[in-house]
Chain A
């Protein structure tokens, strides 16, 4: 196959910029109305949907927690029955981990990765849309089950035999298994999207060592998703099979093993928390660079740290199982690995501090959140090194000490950077600025609330309070700290309300942002706010690592992509050299229909194994229609092919 040379000049008359934009607006536009809305192929539409939906689940998960905290505020409280409490803590964990934390992070990637690399869209636009609807169906399934008092109630980790056919009758655990399936499919799709987009759609000039740190973070995360999610998917498949068709994967009486579940689940479960955490690291780099006016210190080391964290994250899972009687040698290895992973995270923090050191900081709300990240995550990281020690862990495992640890790393390490990123990127997504003053108040309440809620839990755990208890005795002495934690939860709720208020006000009447309100480092600030469906009329050629800061006035742009249809540039993996042109599909209803069929398939599997063949045949129909081109497709494709010069 001969490599096609990039031709100077083009055959048609050279169009001017405004004409090109107008033509692209037409060819990349979306039909109006509901039909247009469900058939979108714009990565930004899909990402926005993920963001809004994930935030709704954040609130729902928070409400679950609020109810739990009310129950735990006093000893022997009768606000909730044990059954209600068990459903709530299960749904809280499942929501936060599967329906909020991972989707919101991948959504930020889906929105900003194409923009940051100068691309027009993700690689598979319809698949992207399909992934969102599948995720939504999974979340709806879980909450419908909660409202009919049939939610899963054996924890987000769903240990067997408790969750197996012998000890959880009904459909609760089956609903859990399928919720996992939906969210896992959606996450895998996002992962493939991000990987292929970063590999094949970078703007010319964006060689590997010029890829922004946030994009590296999303790339590492996507690889982790690819290799981690199948483990929980298989585990939930085994669980569903044990419950539905009487297999014996976890049944000790017939050669099965409850420990199989734990290994499968935690082999996913530990990378899962890094899947949530690593995108946040990318966000910190983005925010810090912009608000110190410095490219982050130590780029190669930062990239290596991200990659190292990704790899090491797969080698720690047994530290969740120290109490199960693991042999000594295994214990020592997992302790060492769990401690070692602190090193790349530490290195990143040092590089950020160095960046701040030589930078000119502007203390905007995103910067406050980025700084608070270090303050809070460090507490969680240090308590994490503590629980890496087996003897210590055997005291605090499954107690509120671990609840404190995990919330400090997840809230401090992921949600704080996320809120910083919300404030940072809200202008780009919506075209309006959030209010800084309200943002500071919100930040303050959030910071105070998180510490008030979770710091006392270190103490509670050391003093004997186990996890997942719907109540505790008066004599335990745990009442006062629990009350304090509940007060903290109220504070967090107030801060979230303030955030929503800020967003609503900004959407209505916030100041217009313009393309680049912050003076950003990366290419998303080159596009409009919000960007056009095609992101860039003329893709920029990248000249340096800080793509926007290193951009000279005479920087080249890409011309020659067709304006009468959706066409994207495909570049080479290593050097981002232009390689071929790819026509993207027009808006299409089939991904939505296919998602509905997928919903029927997996929800029917909650009830009967026959759901598999019947559901699969049902799903085949929209899948076929999806792949089958129509007349318009044919016509466009031929037009595109005809004008190729070979």
Chain B
């Protein structure tokens, strides 16, 4: 079971952006319900009411001839009401939208993240002018609570869309362009997001998690993420590192601190620190990881990661090594 505490529902907001939209939603559905009830009531009344002799006359006639001035006035009134309601809607919409798109207050204090979409995983980078302060990870984004986060988005292949509904509405990730969105998580928790633009076979299983934590916890996480992987002390894990470097893993994955430096697939330097694997499809447990390594195609058919034939002993060693990548 994958656990997440703050769901992935637009109706369960955990940040100011999503909360505003939630408020807008309430307004929208209440007004819509009222309009709906009124129109249906009018329809039902029109259908079922008792007719005057003129109205009950089966001789075909223009409705305009039978209708009195009251009916005409009602239609004009209904039209005016429609225009007014739509106008109010536009005003409320504008009032909601302005603060949502405006750059977050205290811009200097905003955390900047870059997320790049791939088929079917998320590349997450915390940029810095100092190379040793940069963080590269995948599928799991950590943010400090109570601080605005600006996410710059793009894609290396097809169009994806970044969407954590509990926190903020979606923004598309378009190859060749940069888009951006900002959000803020006020409550610590794990918030799920999912790709929201059809991107091929495994669009359905391209999820990510935003882990919101208090500032010191976040800084500790950042510090750990900056470290390269240490050579394992355990002999099994050391053997696992040899297996890793000798098989096709190195064709696609980076583990900083080893010669493996390919950026085709997710960065695995701190794989063991993540809650899920395979872009939120599986919990990060030994069993799930084993299944994923050996036969990813049966879990996410069409995924870019090929199935791997590994001897059972080697697999155990590899798993031990990967579990050491905290």
Among B46, B62, B96, B172, contact of A389 (Cβ-Cβ < 8 Å) = B96
Task: Verify if A13 is at the interface (C-beta below 8 Å from B).
Answer: no
Contacting chain B: which of A107-115, A214-222, A379-387? A379-387
Residues of B near A356 (CB, < 8 A) are 43, 46-47
Contact A349 B175 (CB under 8 A): no
Contact A297 B42 (CB under 8 A): no
Contacting chain B: which of A237-245, A288-296, A441-449? A288-296
| Residues 243-258 of A contacting B (Cβ, < 8 Å) | 252-253, 257-258
Among A162, A466, A471, A473, contact of B159 (Cβ-Cβ < 8 Å) = A162
| Residues 341-393 of A contacting B (Cβ, < 8 Å) | 342-343, 346-347, 349-351, 353-361, 371, 374-375, 378-379, 382-383, 385-386, 388-393
| Residues 73-104 of B contacting A (Cβ, < 8 Å) | 74-75, 78-79, 82-83, 86, 89-90, 93-94, 96-97, 100-101
Q: How far is the CB of A338 from chain B (nearest CB, A)?
A: 10
Contact B90 A391 (CB under 8 A): no
Q: How far is the CB of B204 from chain A (nearest CB, A)?
A: 4
A469 to B204, CA, bound (A): 4
Q: How far is the CB of B190 from chain A (nearest CB, A)?
A: 12
| Residues 1-48 of B contacting A (Cβ, < 8 Å) | 1-4, 7-11, 18, 20-21, 24-25, 28-29, 32, 35-36, 39-40, 42-43, 46-47
Q: How far is the CB of A150 from chain B (nearest CB, A)?
A: 15
Residues of A near B62 (CB, < 8 A) are 294-295, 545-546
Task: Verify if A644 is at the interface (C-beta below 8 Å from B).
Answer: no
Among B18, B32, B301, contact of A83 (Cβ-Cβ < 8 Å) = B301
When C-beta atoms are compared, the residue in chain B nearest to A475 turns out to be: B2
Task: Verify if B67 is at the interface (C-beta below 8 Å from A).
Answer: yes
Q: How far is the CB of B223 from chain A (nearest CB, A)?
A: 31
Q: How far is the CB of A539 from chain B (nearest CB, A)?
A: 22
Contact B28 A398 (CB under 8 A): no
Q: How far is the CB of A123 from chain B (nearest CB, A)?
A: 31
Task: Verify if B200 is at the interface (C-beta below 8 Å from A).
Answer: yes
Per-position 1/0 for A446-489, Cβ under 8 A of B: 00000000000000001110111111110110000000000000
Contact B71 A354 (CB under 8 A): yes
Contact A395 B169 (CB under 8 A): yes
Instruction: Specify the main secondary structure of chain B where it touches its partner.
Output: mixed
Contact B71 A357 (CB under 8 A): yes
Among B35, B47, B64, B89, contact of A297 (Cβ-Cβ < 8 Å) = B64
A546 to B192, CA, bound (A): 60
Task: Verify if A259 is at the interface (C-beta below 8 Å from B).
Answer: yes
| Residues 588-620 of A contacting B (Cβ, < 8 Å) | none
Residues of B near A4 (CB, < 8 A) are none
Residues of B near A389 (CB, < 8 A) are 24, 28, 89, 93, 96-97
Among A323, A386, A462, contact of B10 (Cβ-Cβ < 8 Å) = A462
Task: Verify if B131 is at the interface (C-beta below 8 Å from A).
Answer: no
When C-beta atoms are compared, the residue in chain A nearest to B202 turns out to be: A82
Residues of A near B63 (CB, < 8 A) are 292, 294-298, 354-355, 358-359
Contact A154 B179 (CB under 8 A): no
Contact A253 B57 (CB under 8 A): no
Contact A382 B61 (CB under 8 A): no
| Residues 111-143 of B contacting A (Cβ, < 8 Å) | 119
Task: Verify if B221 is at the interface (C-beta below 8 Å from A).
Answer: no
| Residues 172-203 of B contacting A (Cβ, < 8 Å) | 172, 174-177, 179-180, 192, 194-203
A464 to B21, CA, bound (A): 14
Task: Verify if A397 is at the interface (C-beta below 8 Å from B).
Answer: yes
How many residues of A sit at the interface, in one of the four size bands? Answer: 35 or more
Q: How far is the CB of B299 from chain A (nearest CB, A)?
A: 10
Task: Verify if B287 is at the interface (C-beta below 8 Å from A).
Answer: no
When C-beta atoms are compared, the residue in chain A nearest to B3 turns out to be: A475
Q: How far is the CB of A72 from chain B (nearest CB, A)?
A: 10
Task: Verify if A234 is at the interface (C-beta below 8 Å from B).
Answer: no
A470 to B202, CA, bound (A): 8
Task: Verify if B60 is at the interface (C-beta below 8 Å from A).
Answer: yes
Per-position 1/0 for A402-442, Cβ under 8 A of B: 00000000000000000000000000000000000000000
Among B20, B46, B86, B196, contact of A398 (Cβ-Cβ < 8 Å) = B196
Q: How far is the CB of B157 from chain A (nearest CB, A)?
A: 6
Task: Verify if B51 is at the interface (C-beta below 8 Å from A).
Answer: yes
Residues of A near B312 (CB, < 8 A) are none
Residues of B near A386 (CB, < 8 A) are 25, 28-29, 32
Task: Verify if B161 is at the interface (C-beta below 8 Å from A).
Answer: yes
A82 to B4, CA, bound (A): 25
With A391-B21, A470-B204 known as contacts, the answer to whether A357 contacts B179 (CB < 8 A) is: no
Among A162, A332, A463, contact of B94 (Cβ-Cβ < 8 Å) = A332
Among B20, B21, B196, contact of A399 (Cβ-Cβ < 8 Å) = B196
Q: How far is the CB of B153 from chain A (nearest CB, A)?
A: 9
Task: Verify if B165 is at the interface (C-beta below 8 Å from A).
Answer: yes
With A346-B79, A398-B197, A521-B60 known as contacts, the answer to whether A462 contacts B43 (CB < 8 A) is: no
With A154-B198, A357-B49, A391-B96 known as contacts, the answer to whether A295 contacts B61 (CB < 8 A) is: yes
Among B57, B161, B180, contact of A360 (Cβ-Cβ < 8 Å) = B57
Residues of B near A383 (CB, < 8 A) are 32
When C-beta atoms are compared, the residue in chain B nearest to A342 turns out to be: B86
Contact A353 B200 (CB under 8 A): no
Q: How far is the CB of B209 from chain A (nearest CB, A)?
A: 12
Residue from B29, B49, B54 having most chain A Cβ neighbours under 10 A: B29
Task: Verify if B69 is at the interface (C-beta below 8 Å from A).
Answer: no
With A161-B158, A374-B39, A394-B21 known as contacts, the answer to whether A467 contacts B198 (CB < 8 A) is: yes
Among A391, A546, A549, contact of B20 (Cβ-Cβ < 8 Å) = A391
Contact A161 B157 (CB under 8 A): yes
Residues of B near A342 (CB, < 8 A) are 82, 86
Task: Verify if A339 is at the interface (C-beta below 8 Å from B).
Answer: yes
Residues of B near A166 (CB, < 8 A) are 157
Which B residues lie at the A interface, using CB under 8 A?
1-4, 7-11, 18, 20-21, 24-25, 28-29, 32, 35-36, 39-40, 42-43, 46-47, 49, 51, 54-64, 66-67, 71, 74-75, 78-79, 82-83, 86, 89-90, 93-94, 96-97, 100-101, 119, 157-159, 161, 163, 165, 168-172, 174-177, 179-180, 192, 194-205, 281, 301-302
Contacts A294-B61, A353-B43, A391-B96 known; 20 new A-B pairs at CB < 8 A = A82-B201, A155-B198, A253-B176, A258-B176, A293-B60, A325-B174, A335-B93, A339-B89, A350-B75, A350-B79, A354-B75, A359-B66, A360-B51, A378-B36, A390-B97, A393-B169, A395-B25, A398-B197, A466-B194, A470-B204
Question: Top 5 A-B pairs ranked by shortest CB distance?
Answer: A252-B176, A394-B169, A469-B204, A325-B179, A297-B63
**Contacts A/B (CB < 8 Å), 26 sampled:** A159-B198, A162-B159, A166-B157, A167-B119, A258-B176, A292-B63, A295-B60, A323-B169, A324-B179, A325-B172, A328-B97, A335-B93, A343-B79, A347-B75, A354-B71, A357-B55, A358-B66, A361-B47, A391-B96, A391-B100, A393-B169, A399-B196, A462-B25, A463-B10, A466-B204, A471-B205
Which A residues lie at the B interface, using CB under 8 A?
81-83, 86, 154-155, 159, 161-162, 166-167, 252-253, 257-259, 292-299, 323-325, 328, 331-332, 335-336, 339-340, 342-343, 346-347, 349-351, 353-361, 371, 374-375, 378-379, 382-383, 385-386, 388-399, 462-464, 466-473, 475-476, 519, 521, 545-546, 549
